[in-house]
Structure 1
């Protein structure tokens, strides 16, 4: 004698999907990510005075160098705030940022957030080398 197949019930499947949806909704965090303002160079902008020497930052995946000296990212804001602005009255101190190697977007964003907190600087990101 042949066994008769019962129709498949979808009720347990719907329950499992609902429980998974509930679990993922409750375990997720809903945070607002910080925004970093990026501005393009404006045509006809005033150039820095010849006496003003730009600061040179090299950002690598594992390190950071300011004018050739290694330093941690946490100490950068204090160092830039103490840096003398030689020959500058109204202009902002130019800071050139060069990316070395495979720098992640998150690492660059972390650097830009630190630089945004320092008053009186103008940041230019040069690109990868």
Structure 2
């Protein structure tokens, strides 16, 4: 005579516990950051027209920032640009020259700072 083994039902409790532990793990190890966008316009063909206003030159290096050859702090850039803005009737052209060691984050920090100042026409040059 053969013995009939009755199959035991699998408990779903342990599976649910594992799923909740995984969910808790991924929620605690994830970082939630807000990504910002910086609008960049691609350069197009110019007409060769010159502006009556002399441009302001910003030289961005990894550890320094200079405005028309004078070293400036990025937090005080708005105050440094105010005298130049008061001399213009329209938009003030700002030319940003990048050095080879400048990271994308450093450029983004500068552009975010500059975008808070109204009345600027920003041009970014390639890294040298």
TM class by shorter chain equals 0.7 to 0.9
* Residue equivalent to 1:107: 106
Quote how far apart the aligned CAs of 1:18 are: 6.5
CA distance in 1, matches of 2:40, 2:85: 25
Contact 1:94 1:122 in 2 (8 A): yes
CA distance in 2, matches of 1:28, 1:77: 36
CA distance in 1, matches of 2:20, 2:101: 41
* Residue equivalent to 2:94: 95
SS at match of 1:75: helix
TM alignment of 1:27-106, pairs within 5 A: 27-44=29-46, 47-49=49-51, 51-86=52-87, 88-90=88-90, 92-106=91-105
CA distance in 2, matches of 1:115, 1:128: 19
SS at match of 2:82: helix
CA distance in 1, matches of 2:66, 2:82: 16
TM alignment of 1:12-31, pairs within 5 A: 15=18, 19=21, 22-31=24-33
Given the superposition, is the C-alpha separation of residues 47 and 119 from structure 1 closer, same or farther in structure 2, using an over 3 Å criterion? farther
Unaligned stretches of 5+ in structure 1?
1-10
Deviations 1:75-110 (A, max 9, x none): 112211332443x433x1110101113111000000
Unaligned stretches of 5+ in structure 2?
1-13
SS at match of 2:42: coil
SS at match of 2:126: strand
- Number of residue-to-residue matches in the alignment: 114
Contact 2:85 2:92 in 1 (8 A): no
Report the structure number with the largest CA radius of gyration.
Answer: 2
Q: Over aligned residue pairs, what C-alpha RMSD do you find?
A: 2.5
Deviations 1:39-98 (A, max 9, x none): 12344567342x411100010011100000111111112211332443x433x1110101
